[in-house]
């Protein structure tokens, strides 16, 4: 007998709806912050504990909620944003569905304290698991404080599939950073649990907001973009071509102040940077679009992150053109003037309008203790803030003067922003990274850096990595002979040319071989670095001139979560505040250029890994990354002698048939196959 059709009860309906709106703690933070922005808040404080499952609190100084409306706020589809479907054509708010608060209330213990500026007293509403508990009059400042405790306490299946507290908080910090960039006129702060990890000035400057979120170093490498016509305004910043990442994590898009994900804008970025950056790399972009609400549809998904545009092709083309123009204009060609002078553009900038580089001065300013908002009156753009060391001994003197956090020493005059609260999180939540470290990050790092990691453990790691190679290359190796005779035959191969500046053609008396020059050289470099790692007496090699590395909140959380593994690999770094680290040593230096940049790329690789990598996996990934970055590139012209050298070294490799990523390095075409193709049989 067929199952009878029946209506679901209200509690079941709310639980199902909550699954679409509240996917994880990140969703709760996003919805609550957007409500605060819609209320006209100028200051928003976010506090998180236990990765967001133990506690999320969002406090704002917005308009507040009227006492008679507070009960309605937690009912499904109750909203102050719209009254009819036609209002979506002129939507100016971030929220409109009336689903966020009821969905959150159905899977948590929710408390709302609110007061409007005209009311004498405020109100506190409490809801638990979708059930109304109480509403009482209280004293509180104007604005709203929403507290969410024990998220998913009544849906254990949802709680079970969450990631670790560190990962969940990393996603929250990433979203808060994007929301703060969407509204640089609002001051954001993020605490975890009691330490301020992110703070934006809220003065309306997008460039300063970028500096607060991504660091001064990233902000210095950004170029402004601007375009306006009757129905479209494009603004924001894009990174210089040399400042790229291995993932799209640096791409941030807004439409009328709304954070979105968009394949259309991803393609526009790709087109704008075409031929200017390497393949499979992505720039850092913060791009804002302002256009009539009728030109796009935001009612596509409950998360409101995905939207559809009416004129997609024209919009994508225009964004690409604006980006490319900004990139090309940043490196102007010197032009000859018949007046006998040279110039770099047709017209000089107006004296009344400050240049982009003048706006960047604030990012280079020296800061006085406890005065992070003060601009130094003695700023000189031609004089470096940090003196250049004339000798190796000068480095220590410079460190002592300019970096109060060096060697684990924190100046008493510096603002205390590095405290991490130890102890278990409430509610039996899984251990957070803050439970694993002492009160100060600098204390933890200086304790671990007291001795350079010995290379004893490296031998075991190298053995594990090497032992796994046959399994990785078995499928590729089946098509070629595996015995020593084949290796010796490599020595008989002679390069005969290069095709497309990417493939080496080689031949012997019996076969023709096509060799991927990058993959082959990558295999050579990989095995060379493996051998180098075995021979090191220590896992780390100290840098002659240490490098400063600035991290985002999410990147810093990843670094702290994998600190033991990174230190075991040989990374030596010291913390000196405000998500900035001093990189003193790395594993397998081997003439590596820009070690600080490589370390950032490596952190980015870990960030995009879907699982917690082991020490062995991290070291292998580091070696593979070094091998790839230092290998001959595709489209690189080679001399015949260089091709022969690659062939001979490839023949001496333990596995000459695939690169470390598993792609084939060489393809064999026999004389018989060629005769068959030319019908000579």
User: Which own/partner pairs from 474-481 qualify as long-range (CB within 8 Å, at least 24 positions apart)?
Assistant: 476/657, 476/658, 476/662, 476/664, 477/655, 477/657, 477/658, 479/668, 480/657, 480/666, 480/668
Asked if 241 contacts 210 with a C-beta cutoff of 8 angstroms, the reply is no
Radius of gyration of the chain (CA): 29
Chain centroid to CA 62? 30
Contacts of 522 (CB under 8 A, 6+ apart): 627, 628, 631, 659, 660, 661
Contacts of 606 (CB under 8 A, 6+ apart): 558, 562, 613, 618, 621
Whether omega before 457 lies within 30 degrees of 0, making that bond cis, reads no
- Dist CA 357 CA 285 (whole Å): 18
Residues 234-255: what's their mean pLDDT?
90
Q: What is the pLDDT of residue 263?
A: 87
- Dist CA 284 CA 559 (whole Å): 20
- Residue 384: its H or E element: none
Of 542, 522, 551, the C-alpha closest to 627 is 522
The full 3-state SS of 638-660, as one line of letters, equals CCHHHHHHHHHHHHCCCCCCECC
- The more confidently predicted of residues 81 and 471 is 81
Q: What is the pLDDT of residue 679?
A: 86
Of 599, 513, 527, the C-alpha closest to 556 is 599
Domain ranges of the chain: 10-199, 206-331, 459-533+636-677
Residue 397 has pLDDT above 60, yes or no: no
Asked if 48 contacts 172 with a C-beta cutoff of 8 angstroms, the reply is yes
Residue 150: other Cβ atoms inside 10 A = 20
Tell me what percent of the residues of the chain surpass a pLDDT of 90: 31
In this predicted model, what pLDDT tens digit does every residue of 633-672 receive, in sequence order? 888 899 999 999 999 999 888 888 888 877 889 998 988 8
Least confident residue range of 11-15, 61-65, 409-413: 409-413
In this predicted model, what pLDDT tens digit does every residue of 332-376 receive, in sequence order? 443 334 344 444 444 444 444 455 545 444 444 443 334 333 333
- The more confidently predicted of residues 442 and 75 is 75
Asked if 514 contacts 669 with a C-beta cutoff of 8 angstroms, the reply is yes
Architecture of domain 459-533+636-677: 2-Layer Sandwich (3.30)
Q: What is the pLDDT of residue 323?
A: 94
Contacts of 291 (CB under 8 A, 6+ apart): 231, 232, 233, 255, 256
Contacts of 585 (CB under 8 A, 6+ apart): 452, 540, 541, 542, 543, 570, 571, 572
Q: What is the pLDDT of residue 226?
A: 94
Task: Pick 206-331's CATH classification: 1.10.357.10, 3.60.9.10, 3.30.230.10, 2.40.160.20.
Answer: 3.30.230.10
Residues 58-85: what's their mean pLDDT?
85
Contacts of 674 (CB under 8 A, 6+ apart): 512
Asked if 428 contacts 560 with a C-beta cutoff of 8 angstroms, the reply is no
In this predicted model, what pLDDT tens digit does every residue of 555-584 receive, in sequence order? 888 888 888 888 888 888 888 777 888 888
Of 272, 238, 236, the C-alpha closest to 257 is 236
The DSSP line for 242-308 is: T-EESSGGGEEEEETTEEEB-HHHHHHHHHHTTTTS-TT-EE-EEEEEE--GGGEE-TTSTT--B-E
Residues 205-233: what's their mean pLDDT?
92
Architecture of domain 10-199: 2-Layer Sandwich (3.30)
Whole-number Cα distances in Å, 567 to 450, 563, 609: 11, 6, 19
Q: What is the pLDDT of residue 414?
A: 37
pTM of the model: 0.66
In this predicted model, what pLDDT tens digit does every residue of 483-493 receive, in sequence order? 445 555 677 88
Q: Check residue 5 and report its DSSP letter.
A: P
- The more confidently predicted of residues 111 and 601 is 111
Q: How confident is the model at residue 589 (pLDDT cuts 50, 70, 90)?
A: low
Q: What is the pLDDT of residue 663?
A: 82
Of 77, 45, 48, the C-alpha closest to 62 is 45
Tell me what percent of the residues of the chain surpass a pLDDT of 70: 69
What are the backbone dihedrals phi and psi of residue 563, each rounded to the nearest 5 degrees, phi first?
-60, -45
Helix axis angle, 640-651 relative to 517-535, nearest 10°?
A: 50
Of 82, 77, 133, the C-alpha closest to 108 is 133
Strand-strand pairing, 251-255 and 285-290: parallel
Extract the tokens encoding 128.
């638990």
In this predicted model, what pLDDT tens digit does every residue of 309-333 receive, in sequence order? 888 888 999 999 999 999 888 764 4
Q: What is the pLDDT of residue 75?
A: 86
Residue 180 has pLDDT above 80, yes or no: yes
- Residue 73: its H or E element: helix 67-73
- Residue 520: its H or E element: helix 517-535
Q: Measured between alpha carbons, how far apart are the two ends of the chain, in Å?
A: 69
Return left, alpha or beta for 233; rule: phi > 0 is left, psi -120 to 50 is alpha, else beta: beta
The full 3-state SS of 390-404, as one line of letters, equals CCHHHHHHHHHHHCC
Extract the tokens encoding 355.
């240049």
Residue 172 has pLDDT above 90, yes or no: yes
Q: Check residue 418 and report its DSSP letter.
A: -
List the strands of the sheet with 494-499, edge to edge.
494-499, 503-507, 511-516, 666-670
Residues in a beta bridge with 225: 236
3-state DSSP call for residue 434?
Answer: helix
- The more confidently predicted of residues 213 and 79 is 213
């Amino acid at each position: 007998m067929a199952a009878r059709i029946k209506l679901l009860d209200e509690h079941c309906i709310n639980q199902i709806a909550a699954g679409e709106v509240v996917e994880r703690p990140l969703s709760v933070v996003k919805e609550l912050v957007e409500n605060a922005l819609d209320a006209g808040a100028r200051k928003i404080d976010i506090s998180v504990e236990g990765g967001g499952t133990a506690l999320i609190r969002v406090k704002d100084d917005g308009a507040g909620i009227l006492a008679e409306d507070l009960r309605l706020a937690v009912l499904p589809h109750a909203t102050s944003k719209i009254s009819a479907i036609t209002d979506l054509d002129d939507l100016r708010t971030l929220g409109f569905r009336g689903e966020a608060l009821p969905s959150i209330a159905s899977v948590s213990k929710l408390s709302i304290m609110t007061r409007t500026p005209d009311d004498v007293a405020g109100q506190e509403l409490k809801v638990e698991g979708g059930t109304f508990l109480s509403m009482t009059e209280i004293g509180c400042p104007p604005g709203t404080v929403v507290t969410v405790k024990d998220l998913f306490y009544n849906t254990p299946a949802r709680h079970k599939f969450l990631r670790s507290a560190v990962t969940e908080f990393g996603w929250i910090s990433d979203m808060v950073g994007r929301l703060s960039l969407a509204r640089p006129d609002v001051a954001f702060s993020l605490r975890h649990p009691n330490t301020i990890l992110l703070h934006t000035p809220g003065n309306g400057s997008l460039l300063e907001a970028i500096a607060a979120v991504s660091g001064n170093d990233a902000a210095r490498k950004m170029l402004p973009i601007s375009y306006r016509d009757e129905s479209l305004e494009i603004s924001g910043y894009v990174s210089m071509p040399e400042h790229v990442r291995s993932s799209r994590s640096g791409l941030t898009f807004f439409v009328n102040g709304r954070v979105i994900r968009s394949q259309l804008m991803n393609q526009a970025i790709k087109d704008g940077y075409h031929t200017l950056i390497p393949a499979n790399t992505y720039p850092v972009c913060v791009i804002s679009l302002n256009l009539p609400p009728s030109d796009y549809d935001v009612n596509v998904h409950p998360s409101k992150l995905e939207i559809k545009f009416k004129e997609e092709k024209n919009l994508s083309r225009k964004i690409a053109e604006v980006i490319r123009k900004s990139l090309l204009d940043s490196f102007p060609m010197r032009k000859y003037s018949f007046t006998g002078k040279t110039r770099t553009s047709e017209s000089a900038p107006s004296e009344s309008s400050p240049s982009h580089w003048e706006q960047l001065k604030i990012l280079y300013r020296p800061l006085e203790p406890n005065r992070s908002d003060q601009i130094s009156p003695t700023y000189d753009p031609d004089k470096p803030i940090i003196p250049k060391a004339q000798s190796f001994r000068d480095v220590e003197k410079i460190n002592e003067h300019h970096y109060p956090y060096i060697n684990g020493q924190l100046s008493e005059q510096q603002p205390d922003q590095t405290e991490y609260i130890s102890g278990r999180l409430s509610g039996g939540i899984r251990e957070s990274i803050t439970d694993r470290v002492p009160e100060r990050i600098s204390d933890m790092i200086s304790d671990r850096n007291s001795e350079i990691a010995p290379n004893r453990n490296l031998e075991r790691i190298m053995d594990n990595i090497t032992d796994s190679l046959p399994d990785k290359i078995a499928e590729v190796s089946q098509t070629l002979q595996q015995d020593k005779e084949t290796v010796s035959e490599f020595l008989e191969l002679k390069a005969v040319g290069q095709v497309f500046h990417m493939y080496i053609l080689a031949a012997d008396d019996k076969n023709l071989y096509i060799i991927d020059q990058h993959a082959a050289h990558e295999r050579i470099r990989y095995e060379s670095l493996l051998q180098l790692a075995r021979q090191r007496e220590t896992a780390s090699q100290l840098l002659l001139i240490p490098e400063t590395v600035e991290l985002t909140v999410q990147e810093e959380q990843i670094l702290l979560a994998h600190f033991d593994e990174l230190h075991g690999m040989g990374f030596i770094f010291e913390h000196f505040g405000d998500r900035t680290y001093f990189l003193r040593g790395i594993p397998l230096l081997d003439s590596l250029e820009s070690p600080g940049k490589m370390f950032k790329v490596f952190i980015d690789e870990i960030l995009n890994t879907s699982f917690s990598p082991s020490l062995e996996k991290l070291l292998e990934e580091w070696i593979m990354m070094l091998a790839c970055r230092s290998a001959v590139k595709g489209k690189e012209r080679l001399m015949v002698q260089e091709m022969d050298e690659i062939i001979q070294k490839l023949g001496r490799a333990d596995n000459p048939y695939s690169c470390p990523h598993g792609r084939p390095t060489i393809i064999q075409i026999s004389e018989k196959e060629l005769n068959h193709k030319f019908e000579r049989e």
